[in-house]
C-alpha cells in the first residue's frame, strides 16, 4: 500500500498498558505482551475505529511486533531518559533467558485508559494470555495484515480491519482522516 495508515504512539499510555498486563499476569513475557496488545488493538479498531496505543507494528519473523512496546521493555537506549526511567521504576524486567519476563512494581495509572481500551485488553488477555508460543505464532501468522506485509516493514492499520466488518469503509475513512493528527 502506498500510504499506510499509521498513528502516533503515546509512550506514556503504552507504558501503562505494559504495567496493566504485568499486573494482570505476573511473569508475562515480551512475546505475550506484544501479541495480546496486537489482538486488543485489532479488536478495538474493528469495534471503535482506533488502536489503543498507536504503536507501530512491524512484520517480524515471530509475528507482528509493536515497536514501541519492544523498545520500552528492552530499554532501547534511543528512548528519552524520562521514558527509560519511567519503565525502569515501574517494572522488574527479568532478561535472564531473553524472554523478558515482567513484574509490575506499581498499579497502572488508569487515567490513560478508556472503558473500551480495558474491555479489549481484558478480552485479548483472556483469549490469548495462556496460549503457548507456538499457538500465538500460528495465530498471528494467519492474520491478513501479517502475510500481506513484506518482512521488516510497517503493518498498515487498514489491514487490521476485518474484511467482513460491516463498518469497514467507515472505519477506514475515519482512520485515514485522523491517524496523522492524533496521538492515542
Q: How far apart are CA 10 and CA 17, in angstroms?
A: 11
Tens digit of each residue's pLDDT (9 = 90 or more) over 159-184: 999 999 999 999 999 998 888 766 56
What's the pTM?
0.94
The mean pLDDT value for 14-43 works out to: 98
| pLDDT at 1 exceeding the cut of 80 | no
70, 34 in Cβ contact below 8 A? yes
Q: Any idea where the domains of the chain sit in the sequence?
A: 11-170
Tens digit of each residue's pLDDT (9 = 90 or more) over 11-22: 999 999 999 999
55, 44 in Cβ contact below 8 A? no
Amino acid at each position: 500500500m502506498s500510504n499506510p495508515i499509521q498513528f502516533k504512539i503515546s509512550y506514556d499510555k503504552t507504558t501503562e498498558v505494559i504495567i496493566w498486563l504485568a499486573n494482570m499476569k505476573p511473569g508475562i513475557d515480551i512475546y505475550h505482551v506484544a501479541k495480546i496488545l496486537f489482538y486488543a488493538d485489532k479488536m478495538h479498531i474493528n469495534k471503535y475505529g482506533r488502536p489503543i496505543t498507536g504503536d507501530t507494528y512491524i512484520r517480524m519473523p515471530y509475528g507482528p511486533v509493536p515497536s514501541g512496546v519492544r523498545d520500552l521493555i528492552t530499554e532501547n537506549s534511543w528512548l528519552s531518559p524520562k521514558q527509560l526511567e519511567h519503565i525502569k521504576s515501574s517494572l522488574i524486567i527479568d532478561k535472564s533467558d531473553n524472554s523478558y519476563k515482567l513484574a509490575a512494581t506499581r498499579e497502572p495509572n488508569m487515567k490513560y485508559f478508556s472503558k473500551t481500551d480495558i474491555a479489549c485488553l481484558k478480552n485479548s488477555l483472556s483469549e490469548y494470555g495462556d496460549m503457548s508460543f507456538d499457538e500465538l505464532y500460528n495465530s498471528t501468522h494467519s492474520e491478513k495484515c501479517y502475510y500481506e506485509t513484506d518482512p521488516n516493514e510497517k503493518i498498515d492499520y487498514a489491514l487490521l480491519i476485518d474484511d467482513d466488518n460491516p463498518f469497514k469503509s467507515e472505519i477506514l475513512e475515519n482512520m485515514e482522516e485522523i491517524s496523522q493528527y492524533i496521538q492515542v
